[in-house]
Amino acid sequence: MSPTLIVRDRRTGQPIAISSDNIPEEIRPDNWYEKPSWQHRPDRSQMATVVQTYLSKRPMTRAMAKYLAQYIFDYACHIAVMAYLFGGGEDTLPFNSECIRRLKPLRDMAHTRRGVSVMLRVAMEYAMDPL
């Protein structure tokens, strides 16, 4: 069963359910969260440690780099889904899909701080600031 997104209808203000199957596959995140920012995720205490380690330029383990890389990818997908649902529908897909296409192989190769930094630069090129 696919996840269901609960969003507010802009016309009526009432909550409506949208199946994730209605979201184009190329922008669906691997992990769905209610809010994309790391400060609001269920694992925020673990994410806080990883983000602080990255920002303070302390040594990162391979696992930390992979964890942060996956977060950056999921964040970009969540932003793309929000733009699709609330911004411009199909018109937003080329721009956001290109970002996700560029991030996906970087995510798979991000084992170090440098790999994570490359992902962040790509996200910032598309006006996304995951941290």
Q: What is the pLDDT of residues 95-126, one digit of tens each?
A: 989 999 999 999 999 999 999 999 999 999 99
Comparing 20 with 84, the larger pLDDT belongs to 84
Q: How confident is the model at residue 56 (pLDDT cuts 50, 70, 90)?
A: very high
The span from the CA of 77 to the CA of 130, in Å, is 11
- pLDDT of residue 66 exceeding 80, the answer is yes
The b/e string for 23-53 (b: 16+ C-beta within 10 A; e otherwise) is beeebbbeebbeebebeebeeeeebeebbeb
Would you say 110 and 62 are in contact if contact means Cβ atoms under 8 Å apart? Answer: no
How high is the pLDDT of residue 1?
Answer: 55
Mean pLDDT of all residues belonging to the chain:
87
Give the start-to-end residue ranges of the domains of the chain.
Answer: 24-125
Rg (C-alpha) for the chain, rounded Å, is: 15
Collapsed DSSP state (helix, strand, coil) of residue 128 = coil
pLDDT, average across residues 28-35: 78
- pLDDT of residue 8 exceeding 80, the answer is no
Collapsed DSSP state (helix, strand, coil) of residue 111 = coil
The span from the CA of 112 to the CA of 53, in Å, is 12
